[in-house]
Structure 1
Amino acid sequence: MRILVISDTHRKDENVEKILKKEGSFDRVFHLGDVEGSQKKLIRMAKCPVDMVAGNNDILGDLPKEKELELCDHHILLTHGHYYYVSLDTGMLGSDAGARGFDIVLYGHTHRPKIEERNGVILVNPGSVAYPRQEGRKPSYIIMRLEENGDTDFEIKYLEK
């Protein structure tokens, strides 16, 4: 299963279009918050199932705070991350996710791509498609691959400005 993981698009939908053109089709798209009203447009563009959660800027709408998924023998949590203070540290998120039985957590909010492991939980942040904050400040996203045998792969990718 090939999954596009994005976050913090902040209505910069043209960058999502660029990613979809560059990368081709996906089996699924995960949006980790701060879509800011572009939900329907994103679903039309993706042409595959889209799972979204609310970010701190998604004041209007009915997106869930978090979403739990079971895919390819993995217990996955989608969250924006601001409730876990991920801008300071991912320790709280990793501890909570481990206690709740997740093995993969996808989160956003920091606008910085990152892949790490804490307490046996893989924590993945795709950064921001709209307003990147990491060195070089290139819009970023992740391509996640899940195999039926449980194997996983996460690749941080960048758009040229």
Structure 2
Amino acid sequence: MRIGLISDTHGLLRPEALAFLHGCEHIVHGGDIGDTAILEALAAIAPLTAVRGNNDRDAWAEAVPETALIELGGVRLYAIHDLAQLDIDPVAAGVRVVVSGHSHRPRAEERDGVLYLNPGSAGPRRFRLPISAAELKIDGGMVTPRIVELLNG
């Protein structure tokens, strides 16, 4: 199973991000979405789970949860925009993957059997940070992350 991970679009859904996410069986957006049109475009590709970011303040965002716990391919994932606000113990909750955003820094790190995965920012460039997204492949309980830089330079 291939899960697409995207975050911090801030109202900009790049064609490179759409191309990367095409063919995913599920998409998780880690917050700072920016516009309902982004959710609609992503949901047209695959089933979508999205969480609200600190910049998602307009009326439409009230319907977007701050966190989401889902199970895909037999693996529990927990999504939250800002990892510093993590409000559960992933190990105790049986969560294998925590997906976040906020920092705009792509990162995959495993601690205590939990994979913490931030796909980075796919929206407007911030400082010199890369424009990126990620995928998570789930096969028989094994999870394999891959972060992809969408634009060079």
Q: TM-score, normalised by structure 1?
A: 0.80
Gapped runs of 5+ residues in structure 2? none
State the partner residue of 2:135.
Answer: 143
Identical counterparts, % of pairs: 32
Aligned counterparts of 2:94 and 2:20: Cα–Cα separation in 1: 35
Q: CA contact under 8 A between 2:131 and 2:151: conserved in structure 1? A: yes
Q: What's 1:157 paired with?
A: 148
Retained in 2: the 8 A contact 1:43–1:49? no
Structure 1 residue runs of 4 or more that deviate by more than 3 Å after TM superposition: 131-134
Q: 1:132 to 1:117 in 2, by over 3 A?
A: farther
CA positional deviation for 1:80: 0.5
* Whole-angstrom CA distance in 1 between matches of 2:88 and 2:83: 15
Uncovered stretches (5+) of structure 1, i.e. residues with no partner: 85-92
- 1:52-67 matches, within 5 Å, as 52-60=50-58, 61=61, 62-67=63-68
The answer to whether the 8 A contact 2:98-2:114 is kept is: yes
Q: How many residues align?
A: 148
The residue number in structure 1 matching 2:77 is 76
- Verify: 1:42 aligned to 2:39, yes or no: yes
The aligned amino acid for 1:80 is: H
Match of 1:24 in 2: 22
Residues 67-103 of structure 1 deviation map (CA, whole Å, 9 limit, x = unaligned): 101122211101112552xxxxxxxx49722233211
Match for residue 87 of structure 1? none
Distance, in Å, in 2 between the alignment partners of 1:9 and 1:151 is 28
Note the aligned Cα RMSD (angstroms). Answer: 2.3
More helix by share: 1
Cα deviations across residues 121-158 of structure 1 (Å, max 9, x unaligned)?
Answer: 11000010124558x522011011112x1121110101
